[in-house]
Structures are given as C-alpha cells and as structure tokens.
Amino acid sequence: MYHHYYNLYFTTATILQWKHLLRNDEFKEIIIESMRFLVQEKRAVIYEFVIMPNHIHLIWQIPEPHTLSEVQSALLSYTAHEFKKLLNAKYPAALKKFKVNLKDRAYQFWKRSPLSIPIFWDKVFYQKARYIHWNPCTEKWMLAKIPEEYRYSSAYKSDQGGYWDFVTAFGSI
C-alpha cells in the first residue's frame, strides 16, 4: 500500500569538515533539546532521527505555515549558538577549530546547505528509516550492535519501551 505524504523530508546535516564534534553527549543533548522544542512549538513532526559523531539524519514533517528552510535554519542556528557557548565555557581550545573568516560569522559548525530529500511514498520512508537506524551499527561506526542499543536514535528502546518523547510513530501520519 502506498500513501502520498506532504512536507515530509529525509534531511542530513553535517558538521563542518566532518569533525567529530557530536561524539560528546553534551552536544548531542543540545540537538535533542532543539528537536524537542521544534516539536513542542508545532514547527516539526519528527518520525526518525539519529545523531552520529559528525552528522545527523532526520525524517521529519514540516507543518504549514512553516517551511523546511525556516525550520531547518532554526535547528541549525540554535544548535550552533549552543555549541559555541558550550565550547567557549568548557572546551575553548576546541572552539578554535571552528573559527572561520566569513562576513556573517566568526565560527561555523554546520556545513552549509544540508541535504533534504522529499519523501512521497512508504517505500522511500522505510528505506530511509532503515538507513537511519542501522547507521550506528555499520562497520565504519560500530556504536551499537543493533539499532535499539544506540541511545541517540529514534530506534533506541529503554527497559520501559520507547524512549524519546518528541518522536511520533510513523503510523500516525
């Protein structure tokens, strides 16, 4: 069975120069906080996500009147500001690695122009969801043996079942 979805995207955002800024859980928590805020404010519905050491993947829906560009910008801008504050306070030597010489900023954390692909069909949704969930388990990363063990993913399950309160089950689309 196929459904047609609107304003549903697979998005990948990458840390500048593929640096492993997100290896530290404090930075992952900043992203979690931002995603939770966007969901609470009804700017996004998040179905799947994973936070890797140097990039994130999301399957999310952007409800009208909001736009992908606006919401994506809010996520990346907020997290960049928080990354800078945390680095400045606790890891000032690491902050220097993100110094740039640009007119509009002194530091840059995210690569410009994140990849966002519209999702229109179940088959594509499930293919991207599988990719997101198994990403931490690949030979390259080896962050978990199975998707449910990797904490910073929508696949993660605690002893009580599902874990992330801001993730919406796909069946409720």
* Interval 21-76: pLDDT, tens: 999 999 999 999 999 999 999 999 999 999 999 999 999 999 999 999 999 999 99
Q: What is the pLDDT of residue 6?
A: 77
The CATH fold assigned to 8-172 is: Alpha-Beta Plaits (3.30.70)
Q: From CA 28, how far away is CA 88, in angstroms rounded?
A: 17
For 98, list phi and psi in degrees, rounded to 5. -110, 10
> Which CA distances in Å does 16 have to 67, 91, 111, 112, 118?
24, 17, 5, 8, 23
Locus of tokens 């890891």: 91
pTM summary value = 0.93
Contact 51, 11 (CB under 8 A): no
Closest by CA position to 75, among listed 95, 60, 87: 60
Contact 27, 74 (CB under 8 A): no
